[in-house]
């Protein structure tokens, strides 16, 4: 490039118009400028590309290089037009809400939470991902997500968060296994997700179990499906907020002795543009969580 000039959409429009009209005056009228700026734009484009696009000695005809580059120019203009159209549709369809949920949120509740803004009348298109609490907090801080339903407690690092919602949980244990210590059997390891996903929440869970005066063993699993498989095979117990999660050879008991609620809250970045609107949407998500907690 020369003189700091960059390739622009107008350069491409001039090129295509001249190639199709084969006349400077007609091409200038087509792109909405006069002939001198059109000629100047063509010279700049040829300087940028380092080739001669037109033979102007006998009319206006494409050179061999110009004919080679013309299809590329047309594709570039078409791509720019598609980009603008897509942006217009995005704006017309309402704002896009990028939502993240911790994997401990049961699927039916996740759907209820994600659809809450639409049910409340917001012109919102939802994009939803599932990730660990640590990853969700990082994505909210970086602006990759607008809102996230995370486990509590968590270190927020300047993020805003709503009230803590306590969801009831159930203990899944192998059928026929003698259980001691109330509803929670402590003679088997607990299937848990990696501590790094939500360190503070993980530690609170373990500390609550240990408050019964027994050592708590754990086995790390990738997800609740893997944990359920260990329970069914008699190798672990699992605490879940999913009231439908079960399998043959598995018994369910409410996790009330001691209470082991799934603590959730909605987090967002108050420093991002539109944070007031985001905070309002966060309350809708909280209400959806609270309705489930109250059942």
DSSP-based three-state secondary structure for 9: helix
Q: What does each C-alpha distance from 88 to 93, 94, 125, 289 come to in angstroms?
A: 9, 10, 14, 33
Q: What pLDDT is recorded for position 90?
A: 62
Euclidean distance between CA atoms 193 and 238, whole angstroms: 10
Contact 148, 265 (CB under 8 A): no
Nearest CA-CA partner of 123 in 87, 100, 91, 88: 91
Q: What pLDDT is recorded for position 83?
A: 87
Give me the residues paired with residue 191 across strands: 219
Nearest CA-CA partner of 185 in 200, 173, 198: 173
Q: Which two tokens stand for residue 222?
A: 């990738």
Nearest CA-CA partner of 216 in 242, 196, 189, 241: 189
The sign of the CA dihedral 254, 256, 259, 263 is positive
Euclidean distance between CA atoms 132 and 292, whole angstroms: 21
Euclidean distance between CA atoms 152 and 93, whole angstroms: 34
Q: What pLDDT is recorded for position 254?
A: 92
Q: What pLDDT is recorded for position 183?
A: 59
Q: What pLDDT is recorded for position 91?
A: 60
Parts of the chain with a pLDDT under 70? 1-5, 88-94, 177-186
Euclidean distance between CA atoms 42 and 11, whole angstroms: 7
Q: How many Cα atoms within 13 Å fall on the side-chain side of residue 214?
A: 16
Beta sheet of 170-174, edge-to-edge order: 238-240, 170-174, 250-254
Q: What pLDDT is recorded for position 2?
A: 45
Nearest CA-CA partner of 168 in 62, 53, 290, 86: 290
Which pTM was predicted? Answer: 0.69
DSSP-based three-state secondary structure for 117: helix
DSSP H helical segments within 32-95, as ranges?
Answer: 35-49, 64-92
Nearest CA-CA partner of 203 in 135, 256, 151: 151
Residues 6+ apart with CB under 8 A from 96: 90, 124, 125, 127
Taking only the tens place, the pLDDT of each residue in 136-179 is 999 999 999 999 999 999 999 999 999 999 999 999 999 876 55
Euclidean distance between CA atoms 81 and 223, whole angstroms: 44
Q: What pLDDT is recorded for position 84?
A: 83
């Amino acid at each position: 490039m020369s003189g700091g000039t960059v390739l622009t959409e107008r350069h491409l429009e001039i090129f295509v118009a001249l190639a199709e009209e084969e006349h400077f005056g007609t091409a200038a009228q087509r792109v909405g400028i006069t002939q001198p700026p059109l000629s100047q734009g063509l010279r700049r484009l040829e300087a940028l590309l380092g080739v001669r696009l037109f033979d102007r000695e006998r009319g206006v005809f494409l050179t061999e290089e110009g004919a080679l580059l013309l299809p590329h120019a047309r594709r570039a203009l078409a791509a720019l037009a598609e980009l603008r159209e897509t942006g217009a549709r995005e704006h017309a369809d309402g704002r896009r809400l990028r939502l993240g949920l911790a994997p401990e949120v049961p699927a039916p509740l996740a759907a209820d939470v994600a659809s809450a803004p639409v049910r409340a009348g917001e012109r919102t298109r939802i994009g939803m991902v599932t990730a660990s609490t640590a990853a969700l907090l990082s994505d909210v801080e970086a602006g990759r997500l607008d809102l996230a339903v995370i486990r509590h407690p968590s270190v927020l690092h300047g993020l805003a968060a709503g009230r803590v919602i306590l969801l009831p949980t159930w203990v899944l244990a192998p059928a026929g296994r003698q259980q001691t210590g109330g509803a929670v059997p402590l003679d088997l390891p607990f299937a848990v997700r990696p501590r790094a996903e939500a360190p503070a929440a993980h530690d609170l869970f373990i500390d609550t179990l240990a408050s019964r005066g027994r050592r708590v063993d754990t086995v790390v699993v990738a997800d609740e499906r893997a944990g359920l498989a260990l329970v069914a095979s008699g190798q672990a117990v699992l605490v879940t907020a999913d009231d439908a999660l079960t399998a043959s050879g598995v018994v369910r008991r409410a996790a009330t002795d001691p209470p082991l609620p799934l603590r959730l809250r909605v987090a967002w970045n108050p420093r991002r543009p539109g944070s007031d609107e985001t905070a309002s949407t966060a309350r809708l998500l909280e209400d959806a969580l609270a309705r489930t907690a109250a059942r």
